[in-house]
Amino acid sequence: MPLALLALAVGAFGIGTTEFVMMGLLPDVADDLHISIPTAGHLVSAYALGVVIGAPLLAAATARVSRRKVLIGLMVLFVAGNALSALAPDYHWLMAARFLSGLPHGAFFGVGAVVATSLVAPERKARSVSLMFLGLTVANIAGVPVATLMGQHMGWRATFLGVSVIGLAAIASLALLIPHDHTHATAGGVRRELAALRSLPVWLALGTTVAGFGALFSAYSYITPMLTDSAGYAETSVTLLLALFGVGSTAGNLLGGRLSDHSLRGTLFGGLASLVVVLALFPVLMTAQWSAAVGVTLLGMAAFITGSPLQLIVMEKASAAPSLASSANQAAFNLANAGGAWIGGLALAAGFGATSPALAGSALAVLGLAVAGTAYTVDRRRALAPAQSQGRLVASHVPPHQEHAHH
């Protein structure tokens, strides 16, 4: 695998760290800026909003620029957003800085996935995407716990300065390792990129991402109360258990990449089906501490098996202009994050118990399977249509005397 994938993984590690660290720093930020924790929670939403708006916008705006320059430019914006977060004098400035930090996120993964697949042989495409996403999953094991500890001992501003340094390392590695010749811009620019988004298969693939990852976030957003109220863990143990989720997601991501190179659809259906089962079993898994730890690991694994195949299917369906569709898939991940958390919250608020968000998630994963199944049916029909029309064309050109001979 080319070294350039390491540069993409370093960028992904920085992005993953800044995205998830806010959850751990909320009490510190709230204390320092004299705001409530729910108000501080809006800083998480501000970042996600930046991702959803920035992903398609920046991918479309940079369609005519070389992808190497785009990736470096996006990391410059990322460093600026995190440095401004560290220097923010009050809550409103921090909110704006978090929004800015989120803007390059989706376009970086979207354009990065297109570059990653262009660097390897066709039969290793999924593996190359999974190696880029490895930075994101490893951020959950190492980046987020270390950055959270740093924030608790040196102040939350130090965390964002630390993330800015990771961003600078990513800029240096992208400049050194991404080859010039592999990163030409899309011919046709914005118009061609937008035309790719008009296809039904692309939208079905994006819908699968929203439902499948909505299933994950429905449960994962409320994992702390499940582990403390149901499984009986002390709150101090939660950080270690979240690292187990990171281990599971890293293993699932690598497994998904390897299996997708053999069967893209098979891996997607298998991952979603295992997510349905794992989430449905959560009420049982959360009755004991050992099984809860297993459940958290399996949740990460089942969800992230689907990461690479979903990214590749979207790119495949928009093959003429994949950058915008690939970035839109990252916006879909973040819609899943917000939507899943909202649906899980509804189950909790309705009084269905601590593990009810997982059951809501299981239902969302079934929906994901249904959308993926619909996409598969549409693909089959489209593949058969040219063959059938060609058959009719051949039949209509049979000369009359031959037709009599057949009779």
Q: Which domains does the chain have, with CATH numbers?
A: 1-185 (1.20.1250.20), 186-385 (1.20.1250.20)
Tell me what percent of the residues of the chain surpass a pLDDT of 90: 42
What's the mean pLDDT in 245-265? 92
* Higher pLDDT pick, 193 / 399: 193
Residue 197 pLDDT: 72
**In whole angstroms, what is the distance from residue 45 CA to residue 334 CA?**
10
Retrieve residue 49's tokens: 């909003």
What's the mean pLDDT in 158-187? 84
Three-class secondary structure of residue 346 per DSSP = helix
**How does residue 260 score in pLDDT terms, banded at 50, 70 and 90?**
very high
pLDDT of 134-157, one tens digit each?
988 888 888 888 888 888 889 899
At residue 185, does pLDDT exceed 70?
no
Residue 183 pLDDT: 56
At residue 353, does pLDDT exceed 60?
yes
Where is average pLDDT lowest: 117-121, 276-280, 368-372? 117-121
Residue 328 pLDDT: 87
Residue 407 pLDDT: 46
* Higher pLDDT pick, 148 / 58: 58
Do residues 107 and 59 make contact, with C-beta atoms less than 8 angstroms apart?
Answer: yes
Mean pLDDT for the chain overall: 86
Residue 403 pLDDT: 45
- pTM for the whole thing? 0.82
* Higher pLDDT pick, 12 / 122: 12
Give pairs for 331-334: CB < 8 Å, separation 24+: 331/51, 331/52, 331/55, 331/56, 331/106, 332/206, 332/207, 332/209, 332/210, 332/213, 333/51, 333/106, 333/209, 333/213, 334/48, 334/51, 334/52, 334/55, 334/105, 334/106
Residue 49 pLDDT: 86
Name the residue among 251, 240, 252, 244 with its Cα closest to residue 213: 252
Residue 391 pLDDT: 60
What's the mean pLDDT in 215-224? 88
What's the mean pLDDT in 122-138? 88
What's the mean pLDDT in 202-213? 93
Greatest mean pLDDT range, 46-50, 70-74, 328-332: 70-74
The amino acid present at 46, given as its one-letter code, is A
* Higher pLDDT pick, 180 / 212: 212
At residue 190, does pLDDT exceed 80?
no
> 179-196: b or e for each residue (b if 16 or more CB lie within 10 Å)?
eeeebebbeeebebbeeb
Retrieve residue 152's tokens: 């608790």
pLDDT of 66-124, one tens digit each?
889 999 999 999 999 999 999 999 999 999 999 999 999 989 988 898 899 888 888 88
At residue 191, does pLDDT exceed 90?
no
